[in-house]
Amino acid sequence: MSSDSSAGGGPGRRHAAQQRILLDLLGRLRPHLRSDQNLPARIETLLSGDRRRGSRDRRLYRELIYTALRHLPWAEPRLDSDPERATRMIAWLAADTQATSAFRAGQAGDWPPAPPGLADRAAFLGEDPQALLPPWFRSHCPELFQPVELDAQLRRAPLWLRLQAGDPAPVFAELEAKGWDFRRADALGTAIRILSEADVTRTDAHRSGLLEIQDIGSQLVLTMAAPALGGRWLDACAGAGGKTLQLARLLGPTGRVDAFDIRRSALAELASRASRAGAGTIRILPGPPEDRYDGVLVDAPCTGSGTWRRAPHLRWSTTEAGVRRSAERQLDLLGRFSSLVSPGGRLVYATCSLSSLENEDVVGAFLASHPDFTPKPPPDLLGFTPRGPGFLLLPSVHDSDGFFVSLLSRT
- Residues marked as catalytic: 352
| CA angle, 391 then 392 then 396, to 5° | 145
d(CA 292, CA 201) in angstroms, rounded, equals: 36
* DSSP string over 187-223: S-TTEEEE-S---GGGSHHHHTTSEEE--HHHHHHHH
Tell me, what amino acid is at 162? R
- Residues 6 or more apart whose Cβ sits within 8 Å of residue 315: 69, 72, 132, 133, 134, 305, 308
Packed helices 10-29 and 101-108: angle between N→C axes, nearest 10 degrees: 100
**Are the C-beta atoms of residues 405 and 391 closer than 8 Å to each other?**
yes
Among residues 141, 148, 119, 143, the alpha carbon closest in space to that of 131 is found at 119
Q: CA distances (Å), 14 to each of 28, 60, 68, 79, 94, in order?
A: 21, 13, 21, 20, 19
d(CA 71, CA 384) in angstroms, rounded, equals: 28
Q: Which long-range contacts (CB under 8 A, 24 or more apart) does 182-187 make?
A: 185/160, 185/216, 185/398, 187/216, 187/220, 187/382, 187/383, 187/398
E strands in 232-310: 232-235, 256-259, 282-284, 293-299
Residue 253: helix, strand or coil by DSSP?
Answer: coil
- Residues 6 or more apart whose Cβ sits within 8 Å of residue 99: 56, 59, 60, 63
d(CA 396, CA 394) in angstroms, rounded, equals: 6
Tell me, what amino acid is at 231? G
Residue 54: helix, strand or coil by DSSP?
Answer: coil
What are 408's strand-pairing partners? 347, 375
CB atoms within 10 A of CB 90: 30
User: For residues 188, 189, 195 and 198, what is the CA-based torsion angle, rounded to 10 degrees?
Assistant: -110
E strands in 105-264: 159-163, 182-184, 191-194, 211-213, 232-235, 256-259
